[in-house]
Amino acid sequence: MALSQAPSQAVSEDRLWNRHMALARHGATPRGGVNRQALSAEDIEARRTMVGWARDIGCSVFGDELGNFFIRLEGSRPDLPPVLTGSHLDSQPTGGKFDGVYGVLAGFEVLQAIRDTGQVPRRSIEVVAWMNEEGSRFAPGMMGSAGFAGVRSVDEIIAVHDARQQSVAESLAELALALPDVPMRPLCTPVHSYIEAHIEQAPVLEAHGVPIGVVTGIQGKRTFRVTVTGEESHAGTTPHRRRRDALLSATGMVQALERQCFDPLDITRFTVGMFRVEPNAPSVIPAKVTFSIDIRHESSARLVELGDAVTPLCLAHAGPCEVRVEELSTAMSLEFPESIRSEIEAAASRLGLGHMRLLSAAGHDARYLNDHCETGMIFVPCLKGVSHHESESATPADLIAGARVLAEVVWARANDAD
Ligand code: GLV
Ligand code: MN
Ligand code: MN
């Protein structure tokens, strides 16, 4: 292969696609999706596969105390902060093959393309898989990137438990035991810039027939956990006046919240995605309900209003029960720097790829990296915009188009003179 070939020309569509299919075997579901929740056995096996691929092309691998995973292609100036790219390998319980994985594999394809051209970048280039982006097993999500960027403390993160009462700390110990030969390094290390590639998870690019999304920023999001406590008793013998039915109170809260968040313009996003009833037996009055709230809005001011209404509304609908509302994460709308956005646009234009600017309605680890270094994101279309669903799909042609743009931007940044 010619020494001067641009990495964006050396990326391989087949290799990128085949790696998606190979990683999708870790946690494959019968309906064609992926259940690979953070720090599960399946997540660990996916990392093991990536360690093998990384070492095969002569890259080093690292972990950190929050289970973030890095693959490093050493530059000629290893003392300089690296250019970082990547996303996450964990999935929702009924997730697809591309959410998160694409950013990691597109980044890895860029490393391999650079290797194949025989060139060495000035700065090192690293690919990262952040720990627990999804937040389905351990809430809230984006734990690894928040801890890396110093937005949340390690102590706060490792104390979080899953529904089976296993902590993040215990799960990180399992990871360390399973992959003992991955050396550790500190959190919060300096990074030159972070570029994350991701499927769009919405139908805008597909509707416009445009292969590249230049992400302007990420809409704001607030998440809560609500615990409603009543009292269990006999369904047949307990009269109405003595009942403290946690389910009835909780459903009243959800309906009131839904009315509060109803938006005729359809900009507000309101979701109760997790709802747990205890003891969950047909003839026992529910004693405890735990549910999640996820509210998103592109206007930070509106998000503040909607989020601030949650606790008063839950208290007003508690009836005879007690209610505790915990805010798990608060993230306002953000904008990525114009410098990276215009570089992504210019790279797409050089490659002859159509592009358009759009705001990300979904959350990404890039949110926290944006507090740490210059950050940007590249989107590619996914089928009908469907994501967080086992049928999530994307075409090899769109995936490689995004990887080409990523290669241009990463290569240019790794070789700039600053
Ligand atoms: C990310 O997975 C999100 O929920 O936006
Ligand atoms: Mn994702
Ligand atoms: Mn996701």
**Chain segment 78-91, per-residue pLDDT in tens:** 999 999 999 999 99
Taking phi first (over 0 means left), then psi (-120 to 50 degrees means alpha), and beta for anything else, what does residue 384 get? left
The answer to whether the beta carbons of residues 191 and 365 sit under 8 Å apart is no
**Domains in the chain, CATH or no CATH each:** 7-219+334-414 (3.40.630.10), 220-331 (3.30.70.360)
Q: What local confidence, expressed as pLDDT, does residue 361 receive?
A: 98
Q: Give nearest CA residue, ligand 1 atom 1.
A: 363
The answer to whether the beta carbons of residues 67 and 175 sit under 8 Å apart is yes
Q: What local confidence, expressed as pLDDT, does residue 4 receive?
A: 74
Report the separation in Å between the CA atom of 236 and the middle of ligand 3, taken as the mean of its atom positions.
43
Q: What local confidence, expressed as pLDDT, does residue 1 receive?
A: 43
Q: Give nearest CA residue, ligand 1 atom 2.
A: 134
Q: What local confidence, expressed as pLDDT, does residue 3 receive?
A: 53
Determine the distance from the C-alpha atom of residue 252 to the mean position of all C-alpha atoms in its chain, rounded to a whole number: 31
Q: Say if strands 83-88 and 193-199 run parallel, antiparallel, or are unpaired.
A: parallel
Q: Give the Cα separation of 293 and 291 in Å (integer).
A: 7
Output DSSP code: residue 167: B
Q: Is 57 helix (H, G, I), strand (E, B) or coil?
A: coil
Report the separation in Å between the CA atom of 273 and the middle of ligand 1, taken as the mean of its atom positions.
12
pLDDT tens-digit map of 213-244: 999 999 999 999 999 999 999 999 999 999 99
Report the separation in Å between the CA atom of 354 and the middle of ligand 3, taken as the mean of its atom positions.
25
Q: Say if strands 212-218 and 355-360 run parallel, antiparallel, or are unpaired.
A: parallel
Q: Enumerate residues with CB within 5 Å of ligand 3 (an ion).
A: 99
For residue 53, give Cα distances in angstroms to 36, 41, 85, 210: 19, 19, 17, 31
Atom of ligand 1 nearest to the CA of 296: 5
Q: Say if strands 69-73 and 83-88 run parallel, antiparallel, or are unpaired.
A: unpaired
The ligand whose atoms approach the alpha carbon of 139 most closely is 1
Q: Give the Cα separation of 358 and 356 in Å (integer).
A: 7
Q: Candidates 134, 297, 382: which one to mutate for ligand 1, based on the most atoms within 8 Å of Cβ?
A: 134
The answer to whether the beta carbons of residues 405 and 105 sit under 8 Å apart is no
Report the separation in Å between the CA atom of 357 and the middle of ligand 3, taken as the mean of its atom positions.
21
Output DSSP code: residue 27: T
What is the signed CA dihedral for 271, 276, 281, 286, rounded to 10 degrees?
-90
Q: Is 384 helix (H, G, I), strand (E, B) or coil?
A: helix
Atom of ligand 1 nearest to the CA of 134: 2
Q: Give the Cα separation of 78 and 9 in Å (integer).
A: 25
Report the DSSP beta bridge partners of residue 291.
226, 275
Q: Candidates 131, 196, 364: which one to mutate for ligand 1, based on the most atoms within 8 Å of Cβ?
A: 364
Report the separation in Å between the CA atom of 134 and the middle of ligand 2, taken as the mean of its atom positions.
7
Q: What local confidence, expressed as pLDDT, does residue 259 receive?
A: 98
**Among positive and negative, which fits the CA dihedral 21, 27, 28, 31?**
negative
The answer to whether the beta carbons of residues 104 and 199 sit under 8 Å apart is no
The answer to whether the beta carbons of residues 344 and 378 sit under 8 Å apart is yes
Q: What share of the chain is helix, strand, coil (3-state, %, to 5)?
A: 35, 25, 40
Residues with a CB atom less than 6 Å from ligand 1: 134, 362-363
Count of Cβ atoms closer than 10 Å to residue 32 Cβ:
13
Residues of the chain short of pLDDT 50, as ranges, are 1-2
Q: Is 418 helix (H, G, I), strand (E, B) or coil?
A: coil
For residue 79, give Cα distances in angstroms to 27, 82, 372, 382: 38, 9, 18, 38
The answer to whether the beta carbons of residues 131 and 66 sit under 8 Å apart is yes
pTM above 0.75, yes or no: yes
Q: Which residues, at least 6 apart from 348, have a Cβ–Cβ distance to it below 8 Å? A: 212, 214, 354, 355, 405
The ligand whose atoms approach the alpha carbon of 362 most closely is 1
Q: Which two tokens stand for residue 261?
A: 């968040």
